[in-house]
Amino acid sequence: MNAALPAVLDRLVALLPTLPGWSGVGVFDGPTLTRDALPTFVTVGFVDGEDFGGTFEPGESLGDFWEEAGTVRSEIVSQTGDDDIAGCRARAFGLFSAWQAAQQADQTLGGVVASSRLSADLQPVQNTGGSAVRLAVTLTYVARGL
């Protein structure tokens, strides 16, 4: 039995750039040094300031079938050098809405998992460097297999 978590991460990295409204959004597989230069980006499997980017808990289900419950933490960031926090918020929530619509249309993430759902935590930031809105997104999934 192998963990489904790596396949979920790979699927998200491939899926997100294809979503409506995501053109020009930097999609990073984990942390990266170049993300701060972009006005809008997402880190998959990584949230700045958190120690872990995901969890998985394998276990047995019915008979020889295994079941894995897990999460992937990601971060959508929209930032600007001025005080337009409302614009940052609108952009971040627009990206989340597109991601949520895709996830709801295919809760199996292309057959990678049995089911999934999204939730998010909001952190607005405003300082002398400008404004930003960070959405720490949690994808919760259940995977099943042989």
Q: Which domain holds residue 62?
A: 23-29+38-76+133-146
Q: Does residue 97 sit within a domain? A: no
Q: Which DSSP category does 37 fall into?
A: G
Q: Does residue 141 sit within a domain? A: yes
Q: Does residue 63 sit within a domain? A: yes
Which residues, including other chains, have CB under 8 Å from residue 21's CB and lie 6 or more apart? 94, 95, 98
Q: Does residue 66 sit within a domain? A: yes
Q: Does residue 112 sit within a domain? A: no
- Per-residue pLDDT reduced to its tens digit, 85-136: 999 999 999 999 999 999 999 999 999 999 999 999 999 999 888 999 999 9
Q: Does residue 116 sit within a domain? A: no
pTM as predicted:
0.92
In sequence order, the β-bridge partners of residue 68 are 58, 143
Q: Does residue 82 sit within a domain? A: no
- Per-residue pLDDT reduced to its tens digit, 42-91: 999 999 999 999 999 987 766 667 889 999 999 999 999 999 999 999 99
Measured CA to CA, the distance from residue 50 to residue 61 in angstroms comes to 31
Domain count, the chain: 1
Return the pLDDT at 63.
66
- Per-residue pLDDT reduced to its tens digit, 24-36: 999 999 998 876 7
In sequence order, the β-bridge partners of residue 127 are 130
% of the chain surpassing 70 pLDDT: 95
